[in-house]
Structure 1
Amino acid sequence: MPPRGHRNNIPDGRPGGLDHQDNDLRSRRRRAWLRSPTENDSAKPPASTAPSAKHGPSAGSSCKKAPRPALSPPRTASQTGLAYDGARLAFDLGAEVRTLREQRNWTQTQLAERAGMTQSAIARFEAGGTTPTLPVLERIAAALQMRLSIAPTPA
């Protein structure tokens, strides 16, 4: 019996949980499964070669991991610039909508109700967390009693 106060003992001295013999048996089983199999290994049950109805046709075969996909090449400066420009546009649109909403003393929930959206979608939009679609921009503009206009400008 382990000494009193050991982690496997209940305070009154009665053994609780697993004793050391069970832990040793568990460790031996783990080591048997981890080591490479030998012909005389009796700890490991024989592998079934017949397909199991419960687990499909490949249940008896060894499971091999799929090869990892190759890493994508690093982005070029122009690709990085486009991604940054898109994020900047989403942030600027969100900041503009927030300014318009605050000028009207509306909460995000009030704007969301008027636009037929959720408050969390408005919060994400205002923070620049999403790139909005044209229909979303039209709904928000209509809720703010504004007209949406998109025009190209010189770079």
Structure 2
Amino acid sequence: MESESFYGVTLTDKEPIAQFEVPEIPEEYVVHSHKLIVKQLALGPDAKSGEFNVVQVETFTNEDGEKKEVKIPIAVLKAGETRSLKPNIEFPNGSVTFKLVQGTGPVYVCGKAEMNFGEFNDGEIYEEYSDEEEDDSELEFDEDAAPQTNGKSNKKN
């Protein structure tokens, strides 16, 4: 089963930090994956002309089985030049901190949070699936239905 929700925060000089935390899931479910996808960063109409606004993310990566903190700028916005970006950045399986490290904003960060989970019942995991999905093992190749090339069949003699 999948769940999708809107994510949005505003960064300003008064509130320069915003945290995305993975939501808690009831015990009867098991989370297979979750991710935050940042779709757009935009300067608000009150942004000061000529001022650079730099948004940095802080998150963790797994390198060689070790959790390592990563801090990297994802946007440099300037009123009059670059008012918005569409980065389409994915942050899988963890929390993310957004910081306005330069400028006064406001900078709007928006995207979506996706979660893929199944039900946990008596030690077994059940995933929902559609009856419309086909099993590839039941499909057979029909040589007579294969496309023709230059009026010749693709069948080998």
TM-score, normalising length: structure 1: 0.22
Higher gyration radius (CA): 1
Higher helix share: 1
Higher strand share: 2
Higher relative contact order (CA 8 A, sep 6+): 2
